[in-house]
Amino acid sequence: MARKKDEDDLLAPVTLAVGPEELLQDRVAAAVLRAAREVDPDTDVNDLQPGSLQPGRLAELLSPSLFAERKVIVVRAAQDLGADVIKELKAYLAAPDESTALVLLHAGGAKGKGLLDAARKAGAREVACAKLTKAAERLAFVRGEFRAAGRQASEDACRSLLDAVGSDLRELASACAQLVADIEGPVDAAAVARYYSGRAEATSFQVADRAVEGRAAEALEQLRWALAVGVAPVLVTSALAQSVRAIGKVGSAQQRGVRGADLARELGMPPWKVEQTRKQARSWSPQGVALALRAVAEADLAVKGGGYDPAYALERAVVTISRAARMR
């Protein structure tokens, strides 16, 4: 297959999308279909699941057209194909039809690896569709969504959207598309809050971030909203504890002269989190960290049954932490 090295050749006879992220797989298939229809608007399309493929069916679809019609054939969950269908595919891969774009969507892993190996040996164009497991990767994905739409989005807006929507790429992509469609000009954190306040402001880490930044009024507002929509008090104390401890660790490491990538490696944090915590830590003192940790411990005891009013205990902790952030 002559097109092996050209990863941008969307009309390669065989495209292999490998990895468990279904949104990325869908986009690989959609890109091939768009490219085919730009060449021939009447391109014949077949989108197939393993359950719909009986022996002989795929061979029939892959056979060259008498009228040289362009075809796109998408085979989903290729790792789940039966042995007879895989045999047909392997035979086809030995001499694929140039007028057909075969797209194999494969989750990766050991299951169905023989088909993967055969497609790679035949020179298939391969696209990685791995899960984005790191926060930095998902942040880059959100930035890319706005950039692809020709829209600017602030760093705070991208992070707020992640906090609001979570890690599901399909939901993140949908949220980015909605913001681009509904908002004129650059997307900022305020716009994200308007659209996703019921989710973004209800997260325990949003409460913690505002508290350690010394923004007591905002932290209290977000705390009350979080409790109103059902966030468990213990999740708030956990977030407060993690944020205060992170500030203590970053401050201590910086006093020892640890910087940059070494700081991230030593603390086991992603670089963006280290940078965020480093900015938050500028106004903190060791005395303030000690006071804040005591406040968190008292709130944690209250929410776990040692106090009569968990909401009051959390509010008091938030106020104390916000004040501790300004102790010098």
Q: Which residues are bridge partners to 103 per DSSP?
A: 15, 74
> What pLDDT digit, counting tens, does each position of 261-278 carry?
677 777 777 777 788 888
> Given this model, what pLDDT does residue 269 score?
72
Q: Under a CB-based contact definition with an 8 Å cutoff, are residues 155 and 140 in contact? A: no
> What pLDDT digit, counting tens, does each position of 292-323 carry?
999 999 998 888 776 668 899 999 999 999 99
Q: Under a CB-based contact definition with an 8 Å cutoff, are residues 127 and 26 in contact? A: no
Output the pTM of the full model: 0.61
Domain end point (choices 110, 128, 146): 128
CATH number at residue 51: 3.40.50.300
* Range of the structural domain that residue 221 is part of: 204-324
Q: Under a CB-based contact definition with an 8 Å cutoff, are residues 71 and 98 in contact? A: no
Q: Let me know if residue 4 belongs to a domain.
A: no
DSSP H helices, 183-309, are 189-200, 204-212, 216-228, 233-255, 260-267, 271-281, 286-301
> Given this model, what pLDDT does residue 200 score?
47
Query: Is 201's pLDDT higher than 80?
Result: no
Q: Let me know if residue 28 belongs to a domain.
A: yes
Based on the domain organization, do 40 and 90 belong to the same domain?
yes
Based on the domain organization, do 175 and 147 belong to the same domain?
yes
Domain end point (choices 98, 128, 158): 128
**Between 94 and 257, the higher pLDDT residue:** 94
Q: With cut-offs at 50, 70 and 90, classify the pLDDT of residue 111.
A: very high
E strand residue ranges, the chain:
14-18, 44-48, 71-75, 100-106, 125-128
Based on the domain organization, do 31 and 107 belong to the same domain?
yes
Q: With cut-offs at 50, 70 and 90, classify the pLDDT of residue 92.
A: very high
> Given this model, what pLDDT does residue 3 score?
43
Mean pLDDT of 104-122: 94
Tell me how far CA of residue 315 lies from CA of 199, 223, 303, 312, 325, in angstroms: 20, 8, 12, 5, 16
Domain end point (choices 128, 144, 170): 128
> Given this model, what pLDDT does residue 306 score?
63
Query: Is 284's pLDDT higher than 70?
Result: yes
Based on the domain organization, do 145 and 161 belong to the same domain?
yes
**Domain total in the chain:** 3
Mean pLDDT of 169-178: 88
